[in-house]
Amino acid sequence: MKYYSTNNPNHKVDLKEAVIKGLAPDQGLYMPEKIPVLAEEFYATLHTLTFKEIGYKVIGALFSEDLSDEQIKTLVDHTLDFDAPLVAVEKDVFALELFHGPTLAFKDFGARFCSKLMSMLQDKHGIKVLVATSGDTGSAVANGFLDVEGVEVVILYPSGKVSELQEKQFTTLGKNIKAIEINGVFDDCQKLVKEAFLDPELNSKLLLTSANSINIARWIPQCLYYFYAYSRLPKENKKLVFSVPSGNFGNLAAGILAERMGLPIDMFIAATNVNKVVPDFLNGSAFLPKPSKQTISNSMDVGNPSNFFRLLALFGGDEDKLKEKVKGCYYSDESTKEAMVEVKQETGYTMDPHGAVAYLGLKAFMKEYPSAYQGIFLETAHPGKFRNTVEEALGEKLILPERLAAFMQGEKQVDTMENDYLQFREYLLK
Ligand SMILES: *Cc1c(COP(=O)(O)O)cnc(C)c1O
């Protein structure tokens, strides 16, 4: 399979280059040149398969030209090492819980797949993955790459500007995961990483790569849990709608990829907080990136969503088709908290702020078509990751899952550094 750049369909590369480069040289996003449609018989038997068995089929359909059956099995087994339960919250309304992985957020799926695939594709000298993080990406990537052979991860983060829990999740692992605490802000960290990628001499000595969310190896595996959720849905003669809490729109784009592969999803809801560039576009405005605003669903505080052109590419660039299949909506922090309280009181279910945004979008849509749909909203993170917000809204203490509590016991191991490229460069070379 070849992968083309969304900026130039004639620029095509193989799997290895798409994964190691991440972004095309023309700054476009890589897309598979063919989207395989799975056989009817696969869909007819989907409910009898395990999550991993679904994974072998779907990943096989996409990657079998480039990877052996054994490699596909290894990749899927490593990625789907935890469940994604579908929980009935109300009549016809389900939460797809994507937070049962090591860092309790859906990014674990992409990070785990990406790490394994990179280690399969690397040369014998090994890869260094550079990541600048303001919190969540660092923890998912660090945990996804832990103990992966031939890959070393270097995480840069701004001193004092990530939460203690986030910091623990990527500074206590040791082994092939190195963390550098930079005396600066997030933008400084990102700039250091960019300078390293643009340094020809450094790149002639080291194989540097990034594991950010536009990489196909993080993006594609996210389609798997849409198939799985569908397979676990109680059978009723109703249409299916997914509501996806969105920031960079990789997760939503992966759902659409599943639909393009034949999964019968009637509609998608693109739900955001007040960072509503994409809902505005879907409701008729031009696509106009803006500086991001801070909200309580902070992992979706994105003003220039990097997967927007992937959404368009999935519809062959046809804006009208995209707008037919995806409805946009956005919610304030106030409404988000109210939804968390209401659902807790009425059903006993605890939503995190991101899931709550998706819940609101789903309910608004389903109200327009009474009894016509079964709806699934994606719960992208465990409520305990946003403990203060959730406890304040609900007026009660959360019980932290053991995995989160365990991170708090770990010993922080970091190098500290000034915001200085030459120092960073020397660190990488030593
Ligand atoms: C990253 C993230 C999102 C946004 O996902 P995208 O794929 O960037 O749209 C939503 N919720 C949580 C908890 C996240 O960490």
- Nearest residue (by CA) to ligand 1, atom 14, is 299
- State the Cα torsion 423-427-429-430 to the nearest 10°: 130
Strands ordered across the beta sheet of 208-209 = 208-209, 127-132, 151-158, 177-183, 415-418
* Strand (E) or helix (H) holding 98: none
Residue 228 CB-half CA count within 13 A: 24
Of ligand 1's listed atoms, the one at least distance from the Cα of 253 is 7
**Is 292 contained in some domain?**
yes
Query: Residue 237 sits in a domain of what CATH number?
Result: 3.40.50.1100
**Residue 253 included in any domain:** yes
Q: Contact, 149 vs 119, CB < 8 A?
A: yes
d(CA 259, CA 45): 17
34 CA to centre of ligand 1 in angstroms: 26
Q: How confident is the model at residue 185 (pLDDT cuts 50, 70, 90)?
A: confident
Please give the C-alpha separations between residue 211 and each of 15, 80, 343, in angstroms, as whole numbers.
15, 19, 36
| Residue 318 burial class via C-beta count within 10 angstroms: exposed 0-12, middle 13-18, buried 19 and up | exposed
Assess if residue 92 is contained within a domain.
Answer: yes
Give the number of domains in the chain.
Answer: 1
Q: By mean pLDDT, which of 32-46, 230-244, 296-310 is the weakest?
A: 296-310
Residue 304: inside a domain: yes
- How far is it, in rounded angstroms, from Cα 281 to Cα 330? 12
pLDDT in tens, 250-274: 999 999 999 999 999 999 999 999 9
Does 187 have pLDDT greater than 90?
A: no
| 161 alpha carbon – ligand 1 mean position (Å) | 19
Residue 269, in any domain of the structure = yes
Q: Is it the case that residue 394 has pLDDT exceeding 90?
A: yes
Distance 380 CA to ligand 1 centre (A): 7
Mean pLDDT of the residues in the chain: 94
Whether 126 shows a pLDDT value over 90: the answer reads: no
- pLDDT tens across 227-255, in order? 999 999 999 999 999 999 999 999 999 99
Q: Is 419 domain-assigned?
A: no
Residue with CA at minimum distance from ligand 1 atom 1? 299
* Ligand 1 lining (C-beta closer than 6 Å): 105, 107, 136, 213, 245-251, 299-300, 354, 380-381
pLDDT tens track for 314-334:
999 999 999 999 999 999 999
- Domain containing residue 325: 83-102+219-394
pLDDT band at 385 (very low <50, low <70, confident <90, very high): confident
What CA–CA distance (Å, rounded) separates 232 from 239?
A: 15
Distance 256 CA to ligand 1 centre (A): 16
Per DSSP, the residues of 221-260 read: GGGHHHHHHHHHSPP-S-EEEEEEE-SSSHHHHHHHHHHH
Predicted confidence (pLDDT) at residue 211 exceeds the cutoff of 90: no
For residue 297, how far is its CA from the centre of ligand 1 (angstroms)? Answer: 9
Structural domain includes residue 62: no
Q: Other CB atoms closer than 10 Å to residue 362's CB: what's the count? A: 27
Site to substitute for ligand 1 among 163, 276, 299, 404, most atoms within 8 A of C-beta: 299
Does residue 374 sit within a domain? yes
Give the burial string for 80-97 (b: 16+ CB within 10 Å, else e).
Answer: beeebebeebeebbbbbb
Question: Which ligand 1 atom minimizes the distance to the CA of 251?
Answer: 7
User: Which pLDDT score is estimated for 219?
Assistant: 97
Separation CA 343–CA 216 (nearest Å): 35
Identify which of 360, 402, 370, 365 has the alpha carbon closest to the alpha carbon of residue 384: 402
Pocket probe for ligand 1: among 29, 131, 246, the residue whose CB has the most ligand atoms within 8 Å is 246
Q: How far is the CA of 201 from the centre of ligand 1 (A)?
A: 35
In the DSSP assignment, the letter for residue 36 is P
Q: What is the pLDDT of residue 57?
A: 98
